Structure 1
Amino acid sequence: MTAVQRGHIVVTDAHAHTGTKEETRERIRDGIMTMICAGEPEDAKRLDEILKWPGAIQALIPAAGLHPWNSGKASVEDMMPFMEKYPVIGEIGMDTLWCDVPVKVQREAFERQLAFAMEQKKPAVLHTKAQEKEIARILRDYPNRYLVHWYSCSRFLDEYLEQDCYVSIGPDVVWNPAVQEAARRVPKNRILAETDGLGAVEWALKEGEKMGIKNTLPSAAPVRPVGASLEQTIKCSAGLRGMDPADLAIRIRENMIRFLSNGIASS
C-alpha cells in the first residue's frame, strides 16, 4: 500500500543514508522515492545488500562518494567501484565545522570526485558545512548538475542558485531561519526535501526543543516516521512559499526525477 493510497501527500526523500532496517523497510513499503548515499566503502557494501531486498530498486536510488568526514581514512579509489556503477555521486564536499580532516585532504578528494562526476555526466550531491563560499567557487570549474543537501547557511545561497543547483530542505525548517530562507527562495523547479536519515531528524527535533519549538510531527510518526518527517518538511516549506502542500509535494517529486535525468528543465 503506497503513501498515496494511505491518504498522505506524496513524499520524496532527496537525501538519506542506509540507516536502520526499520526505516529502510518503511521507504520500500510506502514507495518513498529515496536517494540513499553511501559515504565510505563499508557503507556502500551495506547499500549493495539493501538493493537486493524485494522492492528496493523500485524505491531507492543509490549514490556513492567519499564523504569529507571519511576522507582521512579511505580513498577515492576505495569508492570508485561503487561510484562507477551507481547513477549519482555523493555525498561529497568539504566541512570545517564538524570535521577535523585537514581541508587540503578534503579538497583533493572532493575535486577528484567532481572531475569524475563531470566526465561521467553523473549528478552529484554536495556537503558544504562552513565551506559554502569556497565550494560554490570550485563548482564553476566543474559544470554539472548538483544537489546542495540541507543548505543551512545564512549566506552564499545565491552563488548556488546562479549555477542552477538543486537545494534540499532539511527537517529543521520548522525552526532554522537559514533553512526557512532557502525554503522560500529556491526556485520551484529546483527545491527538494530530505530527512538525511532518521538520526538527523531526531537531532533536528531535539535542537528545536532546546529553542522551545514543540515537536509537531503527526501522531502517525511512530509507525511511519520517514513519511511523517517529510510531510512536516513539505508542509512547513509550502507555508513559507504560500503554496498548497500537495502541489509542492508533486513539484518535489518532479524535481527529483529531473535531477536524476539527462536534462534540466528551464521552468
Structure 2
Amino acid sequence: MKVILDSHTHIDNKGSLGIGIDHESPLEFLDFKSLIEEKQLGVLANAACASEYEELSQIKGIFISFGIHPWNADEFCEENNQKGGSREQTIEQYIHTKVQELKDYYRKAHAIGEIGMDSVWCACDLTLQKLLFREQLSMAVELQKPIVLHTKGQEKEIADILKDYSLKKLVHWYSCEEHLKSFIDQDCYFTVGPDHGFNPAVKKLIHAVPLNRLLVETDGISAVEWATGRKVNASEIPTILKETIQAIAAVKGVSPETAEIRLEENFYRYLSV
C-alpha cells in the first residue's frame, strides 16, 4: 500500500486543538501513531512547543515541524511584557534570546513552522508577531531549514518580508484571493486544504500554482471537522487526502496516480536541504 502524505497537520494528544469543532479524543495520538508506523499515512506534524515536539518524536517515521505559532506570540513574550521596558529594543532582544533557547528543537525538526502572522483568527499584538516571525526566519536561514507559513490576513506583509530570506517556503492552506502571485513568484510550495470543493480562493490556487509546487494537507482532525461540519476519525484521513489529490488531478489534467506521485516528489524535494 502506498503511503499517503499529509504535508501539514496537528496531532491532538489533549483534545480541543486548533480551530473548528471541539472534541475530546484521548486516543487520537495513538490512532495516528498506528497509521504512521504501519505506513498507511505519512505526515509533517506541527509542534508548537518543546513538550509537543517530545511527544511527537515518539512516533517512528514521523516528520516534525517546530515553531512558535503567531497565535502564541503574546504568551511567548508574556514575561517581558510584565517587566515593561522599551518595546523597540528590549522586546526584540528578549524574543531573540527566547528563540535561541529553543535552538536545539529548531535544529532537530525537519522544518521550522508553522510561523507567520495572523490578523483574522487571533488578537495577538502584530508588532510582536512580526518580530517573532523575523527571528524564526533568521533561525531557519542559519540552520538551512525549510519553513511552514501561516499567513491569515497578513498575506501582503508576509510576501514582502519573505523577499529578504532565501529559504524553501511552504504556504500552508492559503485561502486569500489576493497576493497569490507574490508567493508564486518566490517559488513557494503550497498545501491544498480540505475545503477545496467550495472555497473560491483554494480553487484559484489549484489552477494557478504549478503541479510541482502543490502538496495536500488536513491541518489536523479539528480543522477537517471545521471544513466538513462533521465528526472525523483518524482512519478517514488517508481517504480525505486522496480526495484532495483527485481534485488536483482533475484540474491539472493528469490521472490521480500521476498526481499522487508528483505530490510525493514535491514533499521530499521541499524537505531536502
Unaligned runs of 5+ residues in structure 1 are: 5-9, 210-214, 216-220, 263-267
TM-score by length of 1: 0.83
Equivalent position SS for 2:152: coil
Distance 1:255 1:241 in 2: 15
Distance 1:132 1:139 in 2: 11
Equivalent position SS for 1:90: strand
8 Å CA contact 2:221–2:233 kept in 1: the answer is no
Q: Which letter does structure 1 place at the counterpart of 2:236?
A: P
- Please give the residue correspondences for 1:210-225 in structure 2 after superposition, counting only pairs within 5 Å: 224-225=235-236
8 Å CA contact 1:63–1:87 kept in 2: the answer is yes
8 Å CA contact 1:41–1:78 kept in 2: the answer is no
Distance 2:99 2:120 in 1: 22
- Please give the residue correspondences for 1:202-241 in structure 2 after superposition, counting only pairs within 5 Å: 202-206=225-229, 224-241=235-252
Report the CA distance between 1:178 and its aligned residue.
0.5
Q: Give the corresponding residue for 1:46.
A: 55
Report the CA distance between 1:246 and its aligned residue.
1.2
- Alignment partner of 1:245 out of 256, 259, 262: 256
Larger radius of gyration: 2
CA separation of 1:222/1:66 partners in 2, compared to 1, >3 Å: closer, same or farther? Answer: closer
Q: Tell me how large the CA RMSD over aligned residues is.
A: 1.9
CA separation of 1:16/1:66 partners in 2, compared to 1, >3 Å: closer, same or farther? Answer: same
Q: Give the corresponding residue for 1:18.
A: 11
Report the CA distance between 1:174 and its aligned residue.
1.2
Distance 2:67 2:214 in 1: 22
Distance 1:12 1:140 in 2: 29
Q: Give the corresponding residue for 2:21.
A: none
Distance 1:65 1:95 in 2: 15
TM-score by length of 2: 0.81
Equivalent position SS for 1:96: coil
Distance 2:227 2:100 in 1: 33
CA separation of 1:225/1:78 partners in 2, compared to 1, >3 Å: closer, same or farther? Answer: farther
Distance 1:190 1:118 in 2: 21
Q: Give the corresponding residue for 1:218.
A: none
Distance 1:158 1:82 in 2: 32
C-alpha offsets along residues 122-153 of structure 1, whole Å, 9 cap, x if unaligned? 10100000011100000001111100011111
Equivalent position SS for 2:195: helix
Distance 1:182 1:110 in 2: 24
Report the CA distance between 1:91 and its aligned residue.
0.7
Distance 2:210 2:266 in 1: 11
Distance 2:158 2:107 in 1: 23
Unaligned runs of 5+ residues in structure 2 are: 13-27, 77-97
Q: Give the corresponding residue for 2:85.
A: none
1:66 aligns with 2:68: yes
Distance 2:219 2:9 in 1: 4
8 Å CA contact 1:148–1:165 kept in 2: the answer is yes
Q: Give the corresponding residue for 1:194.
A: 217
Identity value in percent: 39
8 Å CA contact 1:125–1:147 kept in 2: the answer is yes
- Please give the residue correspondences for 1:149-188 in structure 2 after superposition, counting only pairs within 5 Å: 149-188=172-211
* Of 111-120 and 32-41, the range deviating more from structure 2: 32-41
Distance 2:46 2:271 in 1: 14
Distance 1:107 1:119 in 2: 18
Q: Which letter does structure 1 place at the counterpart of 2:42?
A: M
C-alpha offsets along residues 90-136 of structure 1, whole Å, 9 cap, x if unaligned? 11110010011100011111000001101211101000000111000
Q: How many residues align?
A: 236
